[in-house]
Amino acid sequence: MPSRSVNKVILVGNLGRDAETKFTPSGAAFSRFSVATTRSWKDQQSNEWKEETNWTNVVVWRQENLANYLTKGKQVYIEGRLQTRSYDDKDGKKVYTTEVVADEIILLGGRGEGGGGEAGAARSGNYNRPKTAGAPEDDLGPSMQIQDDDIPF
């Protein structure tokens, strides 16, 4: 029986810096950014709430237009896999780094935060421009606007 393994990462956090897009020598685009995730817990000894923030480096391939929307402070949902790679630094010392290779990125947040709902999803090379609540009518056309009667509950 073949062995099974899973390499899946899901992050929901805030961007620590604007995404930076570069190109490989062969012309493939990649964008890098960092995501801050914070956890809170109550300390058993002091009975005080504590917080810990973790910074994760993320890379997304062939989504150069996406970087325009990935700006510092935005809340994002990231789904991808962990990858460790190595390189030689300027002194010739081998350096190892682990990052998340994103397969899916969804901009989160409400009105004015650059996300909202399903708008802003980027899936495996199929990126659609994010729309926020209150997007201009020409995005959907005046007859395609969602009305209260369209909501089933």
- Which residue matches tokens 């397969």? 103
The strand ranges marked E within the chain are 9-15, 20-23, 29-42, 49-61, 75-88, 94-107, 121-123, 126-127
Q: Report the predicted TM-score, pTM, of the whole model to 2 decimal places.
A: 0.66
All structural domains of the chain, each given as residue ranges with its CATH number in brackets, are: 9-41+49-133 (2.40.50.140)
Average pLDDT on 126-143 reads 35
DSSP 10: E
What local confidence, expressed as pLDDT, does residue 55 receive?
Answer: 95
**Regarding predicted confidence, which is higher, 110 or 104?**
104
Average pLDDT on 119-134 reads 38
Contact 58, 80 (CB under 8 A): yes
Does 144 score more than 60 pLDDT? Answer: no
Does 99 score more than 50 pLDDT? Answer: yes
Neighbours of 18 (CB within 10 A): 15
What are 14-61's pLDDT values in tens digits? Answer: 999 999 999 989 988 899 999 999 999 888 899 899 999 999 999 999
Contact 81, 8 (CB under 8 A): yes
Does 112 score more than 60 pLDDT? Answer: no
Contact 114, 134 (CB under 8 A): no
Return the closest-CA partner of residue 98 out of 15, 5, 6, 7. 7
